[in-house]
Every structure is written in structure tokens, then in C-alpha cells.
A = this chain, B = another copy of it.
Amino acid sequence: MASITDGRTTGTRQRILYEASNLFAARGYHATTTREIADAVGIRQPSLFHHFRSKGEILQVLLTSDLDRSVALVESAASSPGPAADRLYDFLVADVELVCGSPYNLSGVYTDEVTADPDFQPWVEKNRRFEDAIEKMVRDGIDAGEFRRVDAAFVRDAVEGILLRALMSYSGGRAAPTNLAHDVATFVLRALLVDPAAMPSRSSDG
């Protein structure tokens, strides 16, 4: 399961990403200094610039490492055949497992101070695709009569809020409750389903 390399034990580049992610979470991206990152890694401040061109490049790598996978997951789920309830449930399980399995603490990455920065514009486009795919699944479910007639944009925000909370609490190697992924999926589906008895109770690992 933990196929992603552990940021603490690999080469210097991985150590920089790992320590930087923790500092971005604790201090914010803009306020985290390259000296603090270097100190945490155990090298001198100028040595960072052998591995990354700038502080911004460190953040870009962290950003991409998580968001690219999440977008792939959600767009696959949104464009697959089958009931929206099943697709949304499976996506939620997979995405919670993804963010909880990230070796990096992504709390400092998904904040306005990063996402509003013109330097990280590619993020905005990818995140819009992420949001659009969630909203599409919700509308699919409503159109098919599986889901209540909710405001799809509101549900998309609620889902993002729940996923973001999981990311803030459990990304970066912090142990998550074993049932978290299924709890998230069940919570959201229960809120949406017209008939709660139609709850998908699949387990991909069964």
C-alpha cells in the first residue's frame, strides 16, 4: 500500500521535500525560510539551490505530487460508466487513502496563500478540473434519480472541505483511523442518496 517513498530516509532531494512540507504546514509557505528548511535537512542554506532552482520550485513539486494523482482519480471516476453512487463512493475511498498515504504534510500547500499566488497558476486549472469532476458525478446522480435534488456546487464544496480536513490531519505519514476512507464515503453518500438502502458497501480489497 505505502508504495510512495518515505521522505525521511531517501536522498537529499526527498528529505528537502519532506522537511519543507512540514515547515510550510507549520509556518506557511511564504514565511518559511530557506534557512529553516536547510537546518531541518541538516545542510547549509545555499546547498538547497543545488537541488531546486528556488523556494517556489519546492512547492511546485509538492503541489504536483499530490494533485496530479487526485485529478487522475476523480476524472476517471467521473467519466466511467455505472451508477454515480458507486463511482463517487469508490473515488472518495481512493482519494482519502491517497492523501493519507502521502509522505508529505500537505496542510501548507492547500491554502489560499498558495492557491491565490500567480506563481502557482497551474494549480488553479488542475483544481478546477478536480472540482468540475466532483460536481459532474453529483449531477449524474441527481439526473439518474439516485441522489436528492441538492445544490451540486454546495455538495462539491462540502466534499472538498471534508477531504481537505483529512489532508490537514493525516497527510505526511501521520496515522489515520483505519476506517476513515469508508467513513468519509459513507457520510457523503448517506447525505446524498434518496434511498439509504442503496448505499454502496463495496470494498476494493475484498
Residues on A lying within 8 angstroms of B by beta carbon are: 25-31, 107-108, 111-113, 116, 148, 150-151, 153-155, 157-158, 160-166, 168-169, 177, 179-180, 183-184, 187-188, 190-192, 196
Contact = CB atoms under 8 A, between A and B. Distances in A.
**Chain multiplicity (copies):** 2
Contacts of A177: 151, 153-154
Q: Is the interface of A mostly helix, strand, loop or mixed?
A: helix
Contacts of A184: 154, 158
A193 B153 CA distance: 23
Contacts of A31: 28-31, 113
A19 to B, nearest CB: 16
A108 to B, nearest CB: 7
A190 to B, nearest CB: 5
Nearest to A164: B161
